């Protein structure tokens, strides 16, 4: 039952809205209006006019609820990253930079202990405020600090994910703080960056894979099934590898 302060995913035709239910809340779509009084006390899955009311998943929170100042790591990529790093509740994982905190959120659901570093104060505060708004990442250890400044034990982390523009500058320290054989991932938007990273991994990391993930959505008319006219063609290249000794 929705109550004041809840976040609600509102579906109207093929449009989706993520809104906080506060007094005076009102949503206008075309000629339809949804108001605070229409929603409060309703069950999930209720229909009010042509609006459907649901609780958002973490994917929808990230896509429609998180504030961002730059490109986020999209859920399609984040979900794959979290599992392919081999995370479970017994694992300690390192992330830098935190950015808007999207990947941190996903890692924190699957992993045991998440440490995340963000050099920029702006981004650090953005991530904190995104998590706070939705009650996420409460156990995450977060640092407003360049990873290079962090004092960390050697062979401390089971896995790592790196989302910075020039990750090759961090590889030696990264290698040190990872356990033997640990999985490590990177997200890079351009092929030039991928080439430079691949060159610099040699000798420190092996078992390298590079891939991109494409999602293609379909229109849902059962009598006229066909893909959407347009799709997201690129978010970034994912690179995974393992520490060697």
Whole-Å CA distances, 183 to 24, 41, 58: 49, 46, 24
DSSP for residue 43: P
Query: Smallest distance from the beta carbon of 164 to its own copies, in angstroms?
Result: 16
The residue from 37, 44, 132, 139 that contacts its own copies (CB under 8 A) is 44
Q: What are the structure tokens assigned to 235, written together?
A: 């978010």
Closest CA to 16 of 58, 49, 54, 67: 54
Question: Residues marked as binding for S-adenosyl-L-methionine?
Answer: 100-103, 118, 163
Query: Smallest distance from the beta carbon of 222 to its own copies, in angstroms?
Result: 4
Q: What is the dihedral of CA 99, 148, 121, 94, to 10 degrees?
A: 40
- Identify residues 198-227 at the interface with its own copies (CB under 8 A): 198-199, 206-227
Closest CA to 105 of 84, 77, 130: 130
Which residue, 121 or 223, has its beta carbon nearer to its own copies? 223
How many residues belong to the site for its own copies (CB under 8 A)?
79
The answer to whether residues 175 and 183 touch, using CB atoms and an 8 Å cutoff, is: no
Strand (E) positions, 111-169?
113-117, 141-143, 157-162
Q: What's the start-to-end Cα distance of the chain, in Å?
A: 54
- Identify residues 110-139 at the interface with its own copies (CB under 8 A): 110
The helix (run of H) or strand (run of E) holding residue 146 is: none
Which residue, 9 or 117, has its beta carbon nearer to its own copies? 9
Which residue, 67 or 227, has its beta carbon nearer to its own copies? 227
Which residue, 27 or 208, has its beta carbon nearer to its own copies? 208
- Identify residues 144-183 at the interface with its own copies (CB under 8 A): 179-183
- Identify residues 17-36 at the interface with its own copies (CB under 8 A): none
Query: Smallest distance from the beta carbon of 125 to its own copies, in angstroms?
Result: 25
Q: Quick check: 190 binds its own copies (CB under 8 A)?
A: yes
CA Rg value for the chain: 21
- Identify residues 49-88 at the interface with its own copies (CB under 8 A): 52-59, 75-76, 78-80, 82-88
- Identify residues 93-112 at the interface with its own copies (CB under 8 A): 106, 109-110
């Amino acid at each position: 039952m929705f109550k004041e302060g809840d976040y609600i995913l509102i579906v109207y035709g093929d449009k989706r809205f993520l809104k906080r239910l506060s007094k005076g809340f009102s949503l206008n779509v075309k000629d339809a209006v949804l108001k605070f009084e229409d929603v409060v006390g309703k069950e999930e899955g209720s229909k009010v006019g042509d609006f459907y009311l649901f609780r958002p998943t973490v994917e929808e929170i990230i896509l429609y609820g998180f504030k961002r100042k730059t490109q986020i790591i999209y859920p399609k990529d984040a979900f794959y990253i979290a599992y392919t790093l081999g995370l479970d509740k017994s694992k300690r994982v390192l992330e830098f930079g935190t950015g808007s905190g999207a990947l941190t959120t996903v890692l924190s659901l699957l992993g045991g202990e998440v440490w995340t570093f963000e050099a920029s104060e702006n981004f650090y505060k953005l991530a904190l405020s995104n998590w706070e708004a939705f009650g996420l990442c409460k156990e995450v250890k977060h640092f407003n600090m360049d990873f290079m400044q962090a004092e960390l034990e050697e062979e401390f982390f089971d896995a790592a994910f790196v989302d910075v523009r020039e990750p090759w500058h961090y590889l030696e320290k990264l290698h040190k703080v990872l356990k033997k054989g640990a999985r490590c991932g990177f997200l890079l938007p351009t092929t030039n960056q991928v080439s430079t990273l691949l060159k610099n991994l040699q000798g420190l990391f092996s078992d390298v894979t590079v891939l991109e993930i494409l999602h293609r959505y379909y229109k849902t008319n059962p009598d006229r099934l066909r893909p959407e006219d347009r799709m997201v063609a690129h978010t970034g290249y994912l690179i995974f590898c393992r520490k060697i000794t």
